[in-house]
Amino acid sequence: MFNWYRQVTPRERKTFWACFGGWSLDALEVQMFGLAIPALIAAFALSKGDAGLISGVTLITSALGGWVGGTLSDRYGRVRTLQWTILWFSFFTFLSAFVTGFHSLLIVKALQGFGIGGEWAAGAVLMAETINPKYRGKVMGTVQSAWAVGWGLAVGVFTLIYSFVPQDMAWRVMFLVGLLPSLLIIWVRRNVEEPDSFQRLQKTNAIPQNFFKSLAGIFRPELLRVTLLGGLLGLGAHGGYHAVMTWLPTFLKTERNLSVLNSGGYLAVIIFAFWCGCVASGFLIDRIGRRMNIVLFALCCVITVQCYVFLPLTNTQMLFLGFPLGFFAAGIPASLGALFNELYPADVRGAGVGFCYNFGRVLSSVFPFLVGHMSESMSLGSAIGIDAGIAYGVAVIAAVCLPETRGRSLEDSAAAAQDSTGRKEAASA
């Protein structure tokens, strides 16, 4: 499954480790906050609503950061933007150690979100443009699996610090550690170069000069259809994930009285399963195609969720079922990096990838809301099952309507978009 690593060039390997490292550090910073929430609630007398607001605002700013960061990568370069965004989210994670209350924490976390979203967009485009198209799906899936690595690192850092530092100071020390990822910038500057496609844009002066025009470039006529469908795909993928992960713990604790969710064993299973799901998805996406892979994982997600909400599970059974839940939930996000990159020409690729992936992250909040609203007239389990089915159904429809891009050279993306528009115009004539 990892034979591709021996067959790619040293330049491709260095780019892979830069993007893998950036995404794992993204996860490290995000999961640090989740682990520190109980301590922050105690330190500043926050309500659960306050903590939820901070998480929600960070989600919105990370989505905006993805769009803006992708556009910046079109204007200033993939590598340079990757460095900027890593430095940005590392600095604001570090700054979180010095907050004195709810409002300062909210501002710092909101600003951190811009860097987190922007890093994914810049790194995804950099990796997709550098790697041989033959291995793009596998490599992009493996890069996505770095989220599980960062998640595991966050748990390890949390456990280590809280074992040796008094609890009232431990969360501050943990955020101070958040500055260390900025050291990755030094390695990136020395070892990673811009993709050939971006260097050609520089030589031909084809780089967008107007930032706002570039930001809106993904809505020009020949790209409008793929942008709308890509946004819907992002909405369905993230909506299904949040509908399940937001409410499933509450359902299992309150209606099933299961306690394994609080165990480190269950968390370890989910993290390992997520890593496996990303890698497997990357392998399959190059075998069966982008669209079919998304459909397959979406259907498996729906089936797994139905098992969770309708089968009478014991703690042990739920522990084992945690693996397919994490595995299939990872498969769709691991497919998006390759697909979205292959839909756009180089001059707006960053903006397109950043928008499609992050558009759904903002609007996906409607699905957890719907679960809560629907549970007032039906069981919580039924509401979770129905909403997850709707969200993943949206992802399936969007994927089927998008073109199959497996094996497409990124140099051909613009021609494909132009050709699609030309056929439509000819048909209408």
226 and 166 housed in the same domain? no
73 and 136 housed in the same domain? yes
Instruction: Among 138, 156, 182, give the residue marking a domain's end.
Output: 182
36 and 171 housed in the same domain? yes
CA angle 243-111-158, nearest 5°? Answer: 65
139 and 40 housed in the same domain? yes
- Tens-digit pLDDT profile for residues 55-111: 778 878 888 888 888 889 888 889 999 999 999 988 998 999 999 888 999 999 899
Kindly list the distances between the CA atom of residue 50 and the CA atoms of 30, 38, 89, 211, 370, in Å, as whole numbers in the listed order. Answer: 17, 12, 21, 35, 21
pTM of this structure: 0.83
The H-or-E segment that residue 32 falls in is helix 10-44
172 and 228 housed in the same domain? no
Q: Report which of residues 53 and 141 the model is more confident about.
A: 141
Q: Which of 5-14, 223-232, 320-329 comes out lowest in average pLDDT?
A: 320-329
- Tens-digit pLDDT profile for residues 21-33: 988 988 888 888 8
254 and 379 housed in the same domain? yes
- Tens-digit pLDDT profile for residues 302-352: 898 888 778 877 777 877 888 998 899 888 888 998 999 999 988 889 889
Write down the pLDDT at residue 206: 66
Report yes or no on 237 lying in a domain. Answer: yes
Cα 98 from chain centroid (whole Å): 28
CB atoms within 10 A of CB 139: 27
Report yes or no on 2 lying in a domain. Answer: no
Q: Of 188-192, 317-321, 400-404, which one has max mean pLDDT?
A: 400-404
Write down the pLDDT at residue 249: 67
Q: Report which of residues 304 and 210 the model is more confident about.
A: 304
R_g over Cα of the chain: 21
Average pLDDT over residues 267-295: 91
Average pLDDT over residues 132-161: 90
- Report yes or no: 51 and 98 within 8 Å, Cβ to Cβ: no
Cα separation of 44 and 143, whole Å? 36
273 and 383 housed in the same domain? yes
- Specify the CATH number for the domain of residue 47: 1.20.1250.20
- Report yes or no: 108 and 96 within 8 Å, Cβ to Cβ: yes
Cα separation of 400 and 291, whole Å? 6
106 and 234 housed in the same domain? no
Cα separation of 182 and 163, whole Å? 25
Count up the domains in the chain and report the number: 2
Mean pLDDT of the chain: 84
Report yes or no on 1 lying in a domain. Answer: no
- Tens-digit pLDDT profile for residues 346-390: 888 988 998 898 887 777 777 777 887 787 788 888 888 888 888
The model's confidence at residue 12, banded by pLDDT at 50, 70 and 90, is: very high
Report yes or no on 424 lying in a domain. Answer: yes
222 and 173 housed in the same domain? no
Q: Report which of residues 311 and 230 the model is more confident about.
A: 230
- Report yes or no: 154 and 27 within 8 Å, Cβ to Cβ: yes
Write down the pLDDT at residue 427: 42
Average pLDDT over residues 139-152: 91
308 and 176 housed in the same domain? no
Report yes or no on 220 lying in a domain. Answer: yes
Write down the pLDDT at residue 141: 93
What domain range includes position 226? Answer: 216-429
- Tens-digit pLDDT profile for residues 158-173: 888 988 888 888 889 9
Report yes or no on 268 lying in a domain. Answer: yes
Number of H helices, E strands in the chain: 19, 0
Instruction: Among 157, 182, 207, give the residue marking a domain's end.
Output: 182
Q: What angle in degrees, to the nearest 10, is found between the helix axes of 349-363 and 48-76?
A: 170
Write down the pLDDT at residue 421: 45
DSSP string of 68-133, one letter each residue = HHHHHHHHH-HHHHHHHHHHHHHHHHHHGGG--SHHHHHHHHHHHHHHHHHHHHHHHHHHHHHS-G
151 and 91 housed in the same domain? yes
Report yes or no on 198 lying in a domain. Answer: no
pLDDT of 423 above 60: no
Report yes or no on 209 lying in a domain. Answer: no
378 and 295 housed in the same domain? yes
DSSP reduced 3-state for 403: coil
